[in-house]
A and B are shown apart, each in its own frame.
Chain A
Amino acid sequence: MKIGYKTITLFFILLSLLIGCEDKKDMTYIKGLPEEKSPALTGFMKHLITGNIDTELRNKDREYIYASGNLVTGSTDITYYQLTDDQLATFHEQLLQSENPSLTRNKLFHSEDSSTIRKPFEDIDNYSLPNVSVSEDYVINIKHQTNELTIDLIEEMKEYNITNESEFIINLIGANEKTIALEIDDQSNDNPQENYYLFINQDLTEYTITPLNEAGLKKALNNDEFDNYFTIFKGTDNYRITFNKTAIFNTETKEMTPVGENDLISEDGKYVFLNGYTHGSEDLSDGKHRIQTIENYAKGNDIYEREFTIDFGTISKELDFESKKVSIGYVYYFNKDFIVLTLSYHGKIIGDGGFTNVLIDLQDEGNLRAYLVDLGLM
């Protein structure tokens, strides 16, 4: 009888532990936008305003300088604009105060304030930025205070079967104290992996043009002169990511690691969201997710920076949606400690059951939070 009592007690202790474990939630779901400012939220607000096409070149003293992205052939120059923390705070504040953040965001995008932010500044020299112009026949001229360089792209790219008929979209995608990098998007090819990249040293005395597909990167890494351009790539000291985010390379060993087709690289190029990339109509799965540094990813080890669980069912319940079935689910934005999802749900039987963006804040590992708000980010 005594044994039976002990067994029952032990059983209940184990059961309560088990229930305790089951009950453990690693994510708190909150309706609305985060109210407190944080570096991760600031990063997202910057992305919200500037998007994927503009390139952040400087981030200093609460001021950010961007190269405005070109999206059409025939753009004749590279323009720059500046964004400040104060502007970001105002943007955040207006969204916070709004009853319909999606509509407010939309209005802000198409407001005079937005045009003012993006107004190109003229005094390029004061910011030590390169003055880049492109002629109709794709001769690029780059100048700064002390030097000038002219490159005939058609001539220089003959080895890549580029002809006078070719059309490009040219964008500045990096400029630091050592290197200037331009992306040359060949419009005859829809595959962004087949873009070309022009690397120029800051003295404007040397340059190279290369694709960064697997073969192109391999060839570039085998050329020691290419080492001079490593700092222009995003990443950590020894591990860098290509601009098209398809491969990580070790700057010491020159070893290349392809990024898996389902893995997503963060905006700052330092982290990988495993299985965070979805293709076409594929949807992101809920459940447990992991984030690694690109270094650990390249090394293939099991060290994770963050592990978290997201539950689409709970989100649906929190927002009183009609079903748990997700019709559209993907990562809209991913950077260190901050992930934004786009989730659209099916209706219970037909139609749509609800739409939301989910802002996942991973800054405090002990207090992971998911903010549920429709920002209209599709």
Chain B
Amino acid sequence: MSSHHPEVAAIINRHRSSANSMLKRSQSRYLYNIFVANLSGVFSVSANVDGNVLHITIDDIKSEIDSWINELNTFIEDAWNRYDSEKDESGAEFVRLSSMGNDILYITMDYNNTKAKLDEMELEFQNTVRLYHVPVRSALTDIHILYNNETGYNGDFSGMKNVSVYIHGIESTSNEFLIGATEGGQEGDIIVHMRRDGTILYYVIHNGKAVLIRDDSKLTQLKEEAIKNNGRLHLLYDTEQMNEHRQETSDDLARKLNNLGLLNDETKIDMFAHSYGGRRSLQFAMDYPDHVRSITTIGTPYDTNMLGSMADNVRWLAEWIGQNPKEASDYLDFNLDNQNDVDGLYYSNAYTDLNSEPMTEDLHNLKAANPEVYEKLLEMEITAAAGYRIEYTYTHSPINPQRIEYKTNSDDTVSVESQNGEILGDLIDYRPQYEIEDGTGVTNPSHIYEIEDEDFRALISEINVKMLEEAEGSMEK
């Protein structure tokens, strides 16, 4: 440690006391190491940090260091303001102040370096919290579900035995599923539309239309009627962050279904999903296999996806075309490949997922670690539908050129093979392929028209009826 001017030494002595107090308060070994590594040229710290309770607020510490810097700068400014060159004929005072100024400059540089290290520390803390709070949260949700089942908790829709959940893909909402859910439902079925802004709309299917319910007493009456008639609840679900990772969706959906009273032994869930929503559905089924009865997807990239990879790797370009590749929740995947960062803050989202992991990866892990869950997935009815377009080409015959029709091998965004979940092998029970009439190519892909496609809407209807009939059949047996 170099020697300081006495006035400066007096100031930094106060700073050392302050630093020791902060260390004592925080009991952070990490903070201690940062102080030692960055402030040893200014002062040495001596506080004991062997305590058990860690209490650290980085912003407060940075603010304290800012006050140190401020104090030193104010001190030297005042000193210069007081300086009178006429009285300093020898120039000794000028030299002293200059030297003190240099001293303060070096000290404040060390202080600023310490702040930068604290930013890194904060980022590391945030990343660690992100990484570990997800399994903790999942465990809490599971405990909540167990608690609700044990205590006979009644949510708003407890008693409904048949539930359809509609899940959208990236950059999207569940709005477009309203038509499919209405057509796919039956008279008296209830539709709950949970929008991202927190709005929850309740409808009843009446004469083939979704009628908006405006008061709670009517909703209660309709719910009771639906339960009596073994009706269905259709949940149109907007993810909280539109591009959140499938694991985030699974956890959040479980919480919401649990709060609605729909995660129990009696209630069976049929999931319908578009695009990345299919991965989200499969994740939910892996996490809660006893509650899911069927999964039906269209346009789902079960493999990694080139467009998703591009958006994750060249984010400025994706942003330029209106996508939000950095939009994420607090979820951070353990797989390092399934991560990206914004200024050092790591995240995992739909784009990192599409870039790094085919759905087989988690399924293989599941198969090895939890074969009975994999068996349950095999028992589920899983339909992976694929959309494609029809294009035309002409034969080269100069005399009689003929128009030839052919199927595109993708929906302009996801390959048919990937949509059909070929890599998932016998996990997929049905692999229908539908011509999507709208869409013209990459800039106007047929992928975005799949939810409203007539064939897919008919499939929703068919699965809803089939699952209900099978359930009623097994009840009669």
Q: Is the CB of B211 within 8 A of A51?
A: yes
Let me know if B389 is at the binding interface, CB within 8 A: no
Per the 8 Å Cβ criterion, residues 221-236 of B in contact with A are: 221-222, 225
Q: Is the CB of B197 within 8 A of A103?
A: yes
Residues from chain A with a CB closer than 8 A to the CB of B345 are none
CA distance A302 to B201 in the complex (A): 40
Q: Is the CB of A347 within 8 A of B172?
A: yes
Q: Is the CB of B179 within 8 A of A51?
A: no
Per the 8 Å Cβ criterion, residues 54-89 of A in contact with B are: 71-74
Let me know if A267 is at the binding interface, CB within 8 A: no
CA distance A114 to B176 in the complex (A): 28
Residues from chain A with a CB closer than 8 A to the CB of B322 are 322-323, 347-349, 353
CA distance A377 to B413 in the complex (A): 30
Let me know if B67 is at the binding interface, CB within 8 A: no
Q: Is the CB of B207 within 8 A of A350?
A: no
Q: Is the CB of B178 within 8 A of A378?
A: yes
Q: Is the CB of A351 within 8 A of B242?
A: yes
Q: What is the 8 Å Cβ interface bit string for chain A, positions 344-374, against chain B (1 contact, 0 not)?
A: 1011111111010000000000000000000
Let me know if B204 is at the binding interface, CB within 8 A: yes
Let me know if B198 is at the binding interface, CB within 8 A: yes
Chain A residues bordering chain B, tally (CB within 8 A): 44
Let me know if A300 is at the binding interface, CB within 8 A: no
Q: What is the 8 Å Cβ interface bit string for chain B, positions 97-122, against chain A (1 contact, 0 not)?
A: 00000000000000000000000000
Per the 8 Å Cβ criterion, residues 161-190 of B in contact with A are: 168-173, 175-176, 178-179, 183, 187-188
Q: Is the CB of B216 within 8 A of A351?
A: no
Q: Is the CB of A352 within 8 A of B172?
A: yes
CA distance A210 to B322 in the complex (A): 56
**Contact with A350, one of B175, B204, B225, B445 (Cβ below 8 angstroms):** B445
Per the 8 Å Cβ criterion, residues 159-187 of A in contact with B are: 185, 187
Closest to A48 in B: B214
Let me know if B208 is at the binding interface, CB within 8 A: yes
Residues from chain A with a CB closer than 8 A to the CB of B246 are none
Q: Is the CB of B199 within 8 A of A106?
A: yes
Q: Is the CB of A280 within 8 A of B179?
A: yes
Let me know if B200 is at the binding interface, CB within 8 A: yes
Task: Tell me the smallest distance from the CB of A134 to a CB of chain B, in Å.
Answer: 15
**Contact with A109, one of B173, B198, B215, B443 (Cβ below 8 angstroms):** B215
Let me know if B393 is at the binding interface, CB within 8 A: no
Task: Tell me the smallest distance from the CB of A149 to a CB of chain B, in Å.
Answer: 27
Let me know if A8 is at the binding interface, CB within 8 A: no
Interface extent on B, as a size class?
A: 35 or more
Interface SS of B by simple majority: loop
Let me know if B370 is at the binding interface, CB within 8 A: no
Task: Tell me the smallest distance from the CB of A21 to a CB of chain B, in Å.
Answer: 31
Residues from chain A with a CB closer than 8 A to the CB of B222 are 71-72
Let me know if B195 is at the binding interface, CB within 8 A: yes
Let me know if A97 is at the binding interface, CB within 8 A: no
Let me know if A262 is at the binding interface, CB within 8 A: no
Task: Tell me the smallest distance from the CB of A136 to a CB of chain B, in Å.
Answer: 14
Closest to B180 in A: A281
CA distance A349 to B170 in the complex (A): 11
CA distance A51 to B221 in the complex (A): 17
| Highest count of chain B CB atoms <10 Å: which of A49, A102, A115, A348 | A348
Per the 8 Å Cβ criterion, residues 319-357 of A in contact with B are: 322-323, 325, 327-328, 344, 346-353, 355
Q: A115-B217, A350-B413 are in contact. Are A102 and B447 (CB under 8 A)?
A: no
CA distance A115 to B206 in the complex (A): 22
Task: Tell me the smallest distance from the CB of A76 to a CB of chain B, in Å.
Answer: 12
Q: A327-B448, A347-B322 are in contact. Are A378 and B214 (CB under 8 A)?
A: no
Per the 8 Å Cβ criterion, residues 185-200 of A in contact with B are: 185, 187, 190-192
Let me know if A16 is at the binding interface, CB within 8 A: no
Let me know if B193 is at the binding interface, CB within 8 A: yes
| Highest count of chain B CB atoms <10 Å: which of A105, A187, A191, A346 | A346
Closest to B179 in A: A281
Let me know if B452 is at the binding interface, CB within 8 A: yes
Let me know if A53 is at the binding interface, CB within 8 A: yes
Let me know if B48 is at the binding interface, CB within 8 A: no
CA distance A322 to B413 in the complex (A): 18
Q: Is the CB of A190 within 8 A of B173?
A: no
Q: Is the CB of A344 within 8 A of B447?
A: no
Q: A71-B211, A190-B187 are in contact. Are A378 and B175 (CB under 8 A)?
A: yes
Closest to A348 in B: B322
Let me know if B212 is at the binding interface, CB within 8 A: yes
Q: A51-B214, A106-B200, A114-B215 are in contact. Are A347 and B171 (CB under 8 A)?
A: yes
Q: A118-B217, A322-B322 are in contact. Are A190 and B208 (CB under 8 A)?
A: yes
Residues from chain B with a CB closer than 8 A to the CB of A281 are 179, 452, 454, 457
**Contact with B175, one of A72, A192, A352 (Cβ below 8 angstroms):** A352
Residues from chain B with a CB closer than 8 A to the CB of A376 are 195, 197, 199, 201
Residues from chain A with a CB closer than 8 A to the CB of B171 are 347, 350-352
CA distance A51 to B203 in the complex (A): 11
Residues from chain A with a CB closer than 8 A to the CB of B445 are 349-350
Let me know if A158 is at the binding interface, CB within 8 A: no
Residues from chain A with a CB closer than 8 A to the CB of B413 are 349-350
Task: Tell me the smallest distance from the CB of A31 to a CB of chain B, in Å.
Answer: 17
Task: Tell me the smallest distance from the CB of A5 to a CB of chain B, in Å.
Answer: 47
CA distance A187 to B200 in the complex (A): 28
Closest to A347 in B: B171
Let me know if A135 is at the binding interface, CB within 8 A: no
Name A's B-contacting residues (CB within 8 A). Answer: 49-53, 71-74, 100, 102-103, 105-106, 109-110, 114-115, 118, 185, 187, 190-192, 280-281, 322-323, 325, 327-328, 344, 346-353, 355, 376-378
Supplied contacts A281-B457, A349-B445, 12 more A-B pairs, CB within 8 Å:
A73-B225, A105-B199, A106-B200, A190-B187, A190-B208, A325-B448, A327-B176, A328-B179, A349-B323, A350-B172, A350-B323, A376-B195
Could you list 20 examples of A-B contacts with CB < 8 Å?
A: A50-B214, A51-B212, A72-B221, A109-B214, A114-B215, A115-B217, A190-B208, A192-B208, A280-B454, A281-B452, A344-B175, A349-B445, A350-B307, A350-B445, A351-B171, A352-B171, A377-B212, A378-B175, A378-B201, A378-B212
User: Sorted from nearest, which 7 A-B pairs have the closest CB atoms?
Assistant: A351-B171, A348-B322, A281-B452, A351-B172, A192-B207, A72-B225, A322-B322
